[in-house]
Chain A
Amino acid sequence: MRYIEHDAVVKRMNSRMVVNKVFKGFFIFATSLALLALVILLYRIVTQGAGHLSIDFLTNFASRFPEKAGIKAALIGSIWLMAVVAPTSIILGVGSAVYLEEYAKKSRLTTFIQTNIANLAGVPSVVFGLLGLTIFVRTLSLGNSILAAGFTMSLLILPVIIVAAQEAIRSVPKELRDASYGMGATKWQTIVKIILPAAIPGVLTGSILALSRAIGETAPLIVIGIPVIIQFLPKGVMDTFTALPMQIYDWSSRPQQEFQMVAAAGIIILMAFLIIMNSIAVAIRNKYDKRY
């Protein structure tokens, strides 16, 4: 007795092939739609903003006249912000990930912490803004400084970095740990010399994605009261500042048509900033990428 009737299989072959093709088409369509949206967006921004891009645009402060408006304060402000956010969030994030993966014993408490870190990654950024306002701006009296904004942004992206770093650490083969411990290395030596170097590509990919998010976030900055128009550059982390997305948000909400162009030019600068950051990440990742 045979269960597969080959004649029937051949008969049904046509409809199977049709279904096969239909779904292939659908997947191509889905990808193209996303690509198309991106292309339209880029085209619109570049055609609108390119005309306004100039050295003056980079070196001028904000102005009520669109032709004089520049992005200097926001650009430098965003660099300052990143200078606080990157070390704070990466050191704390990788530290937490190392603790959770290498030190913490599996218990109900660690499972609970684990679940909550994953959940925190989904909390809206405006909520983190309120948290930053309460803790850093008011309780610690940091005011609307770079430090307060940087810490708030660090809190916002910390969960993402922790989860990414944990995954990177977990993917380091157990055999490498065994080899290191087997020679009498301490846990710290094993972490520093074996685990972290092997985990760096994954940690960096996650961190840069998270930092890219921080650089584009506006809501937490608005909540902690970061000003939009500033006519000076910050001299230290305790000074106030403004950031690229704040500036762009302000320009695009102005009634004059010309400011839309200025906003588009600001977006080009923001995207260039992101591309530079991502390239650095890719470069470092390629340097450290080793197969096991």
Chain B
Amino acid sequence: MNREELIKKLEEVKDKVTAVEQTTDLRIYLSCEAQNAPGICRFLYQDCGCRFVICSCIDADDWFEVLYHFSYDQLGFIITVKAFIRDRQNPAIDSITPSVPGAEWIEREMHDVMGIEFRNHPDMRRLILADDWPQGVYPERKEAKK
């Protein structure tokens, strides 16, 4: 797809997206609520042919954000899906691993360091923290102190 076609194709998910931000020529950020994120990710991966890069998770005081970064290599575009998880007490979102196998490790890592639950993840085991790291302590959260 060329640039115009890609931008046009992204409009297919516009009902799930709450905000679109294009910071430079090749960077687009699609904001959405947590329940719509897996659908948009599936669309980008399966319908658009994007490559999954990685996820970032952010503790933004009143909510959590999970960012899914995808790359459309033919044009050098990076499309980021920003999922807002509003429930701070029990943050949870559906896992995208069943449709995007490359996300398996990063979802485990986000669960370890941020405490976000990924529903239906095929193998949610500890990945990155030590065996004796205490349960329920999430080092990437704002309130975590060393």
A and B: bona fide binding partners: no
Query: Which A residues have a C-beta under 8 Å from some C-beta of B?
Result: none
Query: Which B residues have a C-beta under 8 Å from some C-beta of A?
Result: none
